[in-house]
Amino acid sequence: MKRTGIIAGLVALALPMIASSAVAQEFTLRVADSFPTTHQYSKNTQDWLDLVEEKTNGRIAFKYFPAEQLAKSADLLDAAQNGLADIVYAPPLYLSDRLPLSTVIALPLIGNITDQQALNDAFNELVLSELNDIEILPLGVRAIRSLVTAPYQVMSRGDKLETVEQLEGIKLRSSGGVQERSVEALGAVPVAIPAPDLYPALQRGTVDGTLFNLPTAAGYKLQEQIKYATDNMNLGLFPALYVINEDVWNTLPEDIQTALVEAAREVIPAVVQADKDRISEFTKGLEDNGGGVYQIEQAQLQQWNSKLSEVRQAWVDSLEKQGKPAQAILDRWSDLATK
């Protein structure tokens, strides 16, 4: 009887361990993106996945494939649609033919709309509601995470650029698309130069300045070639989306779905703080170079806005002709970004 009691006790102790092990193996999802492991977005993604595992007590696990290990950047959305991956990075500006309304975030918003955390919160709200319903879910995927950069600013290797008249005819590097149209609307000449080639282009005087966000500019050490940069403009943002296969999403219990979305929001402040640190680095570099950051005065901002309104209207007109509710999305984004 004593031996039987011991065995029964050991079995009773083992059962919760067996159950716990079974729960830990409940779901395993493959996550893929294109960022190298040294990139802050890759590190933040790993933090996100770790937090989801913690929130769900290990009921879900992830196999993370950064640096295009599972699919090339251009093929990541396809990988989520065909089941090669479960969750993927899907940048709207590189997928504008499939996610045209999501490119609204690249449009210029003039005014002191520069709080990166608030802009992340605003775009996340737009993504999880209207953009999911209108254009993302019809692709068989669902957006569950978004990140946005600090706003793009005007940078000059020479004098401060404070008025639209000063922009007339100068050469500004742009990344194409909406940004190229913004440069043209301001009267400057857009020059397409890949970001890694911008430093020598500024050094040689191939361009007089650039549109760039301050943290990324610091990453390319542009403070060594740039003298002045605005810090109260919003000439567009670069967005990153992570989407999950909709069929996979529907297999997940509601609490795990909630954990995925909540954890995505909770790790954003770490990216924002890292960007603030890089902005400080960039600003110090400008000051060491005899320059600095500055703000466009309100009266001048109205003139910039008048010019850039053409860019926003052209975006609306182009998509409305395709039957897309572009004006409604732009209005909603503007409301969220400024509230």
**Do residues 54 and 192 share a domain?**
no
**Among 21-30, 121-130, 267-276, which stretch is predicted with the lowest mean pLDDT?**
21-30
pLDDT in tens, 131-174: 999 999 999 999 999 999 999 999 999 999 999 999 999 999 99
**Do residues 63 and 117 share a domain?**
yes
Question: What is the pLDDT at residue 25?
Answer: 52
pLDDT in tens, 78-135: 999 999 999 999 999 999 999 999 999 999 997 779 999 999 999 999 999 999 999 9
* Total count of domains within the chain: 2
Quick one: which H or E segment has residue 83?
none
Can you tell me which residue has the tokens 């954990």? 259
**Do residues 169 and 267 share a domain?**
no
Query: Quick one: residue 250, left, alpha or beta (phi over 0 = left, psi -120 to 50 = alpha)?
Result: alpha
**Do residues 94 and 186 share a domain?**
no
Q: Is residue 182 domain-resident?
A: yes
Strands 27-32 and 87-89: parallel
Strand ranges, E, within 117-177: 141-148, 152-156, 171-174
Q: Is residue 12 domain-resident?
A: no
Helix (H, G, I), strand (E, B) or coil at 325: coil
Amino acid at 128: L
**Do residues 176 and 298 share a domain?**
yes
Strands 27-32 and 60-65: parallel
**Do residues 203 and 136 share a domain?**
no
What is the spatial distance between Cα 44 and Cα 267, in angstroms, rounded to a whole number?
A: 7
**Do residues 54 and 114 share a domain?**
yes
Give one DSSP letter per residue of 265-311, joined into a string: HHTHHHHHHHHHHHHHHHHHHHHHTT-EEE---HHHHHHHHHHHHHH
At 9, is the pLDDT very low, low, confident or very high (cuts 50, 70, 90)?
very low
Can you tell me which residue has the tokens 């004098």? 159
- CATH code at position 201: 3.40.190.170
**Do residues 176 and 223 share a domain?**
yes
Helices 40-55 and 268-288: angle between axes, nearest 10 degrees = 160
